[in-house]
Structure 1
Amino acid sequence: MPTLHNNPYADVVNDTPYPLLITKGKGGRRKWWFLNEPARDLDPVTFEPCRSSNEFPHRRNYPGLYPFGEDRHMVMFESLTELACLMELDHRGEVVRVAAQPFGLVFGDRTIHYPDFAARLRDGTTLVIDVKPLEFATHDRFVHAAVLTEKACASQKWRYCIMHGCQGWQRDNLEWMCAFRYEEYIPAPALATELADFLAVPRTMEEAALRLDPRADLGIGYALLSNMMFHRRVVPLEQGPLYPGLMVIAGDGKGKK
């Protein structure tokens, strides 16, 4: 097996038929569970990162922290692809909490795998996420680890998915909306209600922005509109890059018209 950068559980050997989940507890001490049955006290969304993002020569990835959700909980990311996935999860509005690099899985065939995120959905479901660019997602080593990880998650009644990170105009749109997701760009309640009534029928982004603030030269209306679009209170009616003529309509905060 190729050596992982910062593989903290490389010394662990699991000779059982059951996946071994390991994480970092208080004081950095290891905690572990064999996943032969559902564990009552196992909540990966509360775990601290078991791996750190180390700098090394010629690294192409860009680590950082993303302020996630309503409470702006800082979530570590190790690449721009992971950052795009965090923004996408935040935009969807289904996730209330995310933990980065929450645990490692050691399997009986000596496979060691570290899922990128564990998330709690609004309905209480736990979702374990691997992030892998599409061009690398079919590599044999990753596919093998993903299959084992999905089975391990199923033993705990957790969902599992692989995210690839959106690209092109979808990523451009997401990054633009994300820049205005903060409280200072939230329209006043009366103004937001007025816009929702105005967008009961399709309008252009330009019309919606001018409705929020008629001072076109300042661009305030677009900032407020972008906030509402990030939080799904306004949704586009067509696919493609954001532009003044894009048709939008009022949403329900869940991405639905």
Structure 2
Amino acid sequence: MGGERGWLMAEEDFWLEYVDACGEPHGGPLEVMWPTRFEAAGQVRGFPSYRGQRNFPGWYWAATGGDLVGYESWVELGHLMRLDAEPDVVAVASQPFRLSWRYGDRARRTRHTPDYFVRRRDGTAVVLDVRPDDRIEPDDAAKFAATAAACARVGWGFERVGILDPVLAANLRWLSGYRHPRVRREPVADALQAVFAEPQGLLAGAREVGDPIATLPVLFHLLWRRVLAADLGGELLAGATRVHLVPAVAKEVGGDAGASAAAVAG
């Protein structure tokens, strides 16, 4: 990196470019551009496609925001699903902007396009770069460090993440099939919340509410939405997996929830 502080620069040296939802390009100093709603911007660059390509780009329909979000690899897709399932995330944008800066007295500007811009429910933002630990070269590390410094200057968080835990990734991939809001059906959802107010096995609770063919999709949707919880990183979901109502949700469950469970079961 040419020294721990070799990438530091004056704030006005950070330059940011993005493309709005209509495809129009914009650019300017970071301190001028940062208030932009990048979660609603277009991709500043496209994904290449060619014969023999080793990565797998594509589009993912995010329940958060109800829009398509791009990914360039299975690793990115795993984190995209993780973000989509987090209750405090309200929007995710892929390739949201291009950041450039100069190292010291170099005439040529260094450029970097982060993978994702994440907007949280409280209005804060996180910029995300996805790169496996064993694929980070010195130049990559320097770019991530400079991007982190730029984010810190405008109050954004920055994360560089690697390969998602394979068990968590597999469970999220399964649950993502039930992420669409149409999967939730009442009063089945209310009944499941009442049943899992006391932790128990996934399949046993589903059967207590009704026919598993009808209740399991709703149960999986509630797990995706974090209304119900299980140890998604510990083991693959199975009939015996312990499921419980999320404490914050439990406070909202009314006293007639038990009656809803009995009505569905009946």
If the length of structure 2 is used for normalisation, what is the TM-score? 0.80
Residues 131 and 161, structure 2, Cα contact 8 Å, conserved in 1: yes
Equivalent position SS for 1:179? helix
Q: 1: CA distance between counterparts of 2:204 and 2:66? A: 31
Residue 191 of structure 1, CA deviation: 2.4
- The reply on whether 1:47 has 2:41 as its aligned counterpart is yes
Quote the residue 1:227 is aligned against: 221
The one-letter code matched in structure 1 to 2:93 is A
Give secondary structure in 2 for the equivalent of 1:229. helix
1:19 aligns with 2:1: no
Task: Give RMSD over aligned pairs.
Answer: 2.7
Structure 2 residue identity aligned to 1:57: R
1:211 Cα deviation (Å)?
2.6
- How far off is 1:129 after superposition? 0.9
Structure with the higher fraction of residues in helix conformation:
2
SS in 1 for 2:17: strand
Alignment partner, residue 183 of structure 1: 181
Percent identity over paired residues: 25
Q: What is the CA distance between 1:135 and its match in structure 2?
A: 2.5
* Cα displacement string for residues 98-121 of structure 1 (whole angstroms, at most 9, x for unaligned residues): 111111111103321110111111
Counterpart Cα distance in 1 of 2:10 and 2:193: 59
Moved over 4 A (4+): 14-17, 25-29, 38-41
Equivalent residues of 1:237, 1:249 under 8 A apart: no
Partner of 2:56: 62
Q: Structure 2 stretches of 5 or more lacking a match?
A: 1-8, 104-108, 252-266
Q: Following TM superposition, by how much is the alpha carbon of 1:205 offset from its aligned partner in structure 2, in angstroms?
A: 0.6
The corresponding residue for 1:86 is 80
Structure 1 counterpart of 2:150: 152
Instruction: State the Cα deviation string for residues 164-213 of structure 1 (Å, max 9, x = none).
Output: 2423211111101111112332131x322222222121100111221343
- Asked if structure 2 preserves the Cα contact closer than 8 Å seen for 1:15 and 1:108, the reply is no
The 3 A distance-change label for structure 1 pair 197 and 162 is: same
C-alpha distance in structure 2 between counterparts of 1:40 and 1:170, whole Å: 33
Distance 1:95 1:123 in 2: 9
> In the TM superposition, what is the alpha-carbon distance from 1:82 to its structure 2 partner?
1.3
CA 16–227 in structure 1, closer or farther in 2 if over 3 Å, else same? closer
TM superposition shift of 1:68: 1.3
Q: Does 1:136 align with 2:135?
A: yes
Q: CA deviation at 1:17?
A: 6.4
User: By how many angstroms is 1:44 displaced?
Assistant: 2.1
Measure, in 1, the Cα distance between the counterparts of 2:142 and 2:176: 34
Structure 2 CA distance, aligned partners of 1:55 and 1:150? 29
Aligned to 1:10: none
The letter of the residue matching 2:161 is: M
In structure 2, relative to structure 1, the CA distance for the partners of 1:60 and 1:245 (3 Å cut) is same
How many pairs does the alignment contain? 237
1:100 to 94, 97, 102: 94
2:106 corresponds in structure 1 to: none
Amino acid at match of 1:122: R
**1:242/1:63 CA distance change after superposition, 3 Å:** same
Question: Which residue in the other structure is 1:199 paired with?
Answer: 196
2:206 matched to 1:209?
yes
Cα distance change on mapping 1:26 and 1:67 into 2, 3 Å: closer
| Cα distance in 2, alignment partners of residues 187 and 16 from structure 1 | 51
AA aligned opposite 1:33: G
Conserved? CA contact 2:64–2:91, under 8 Å: no
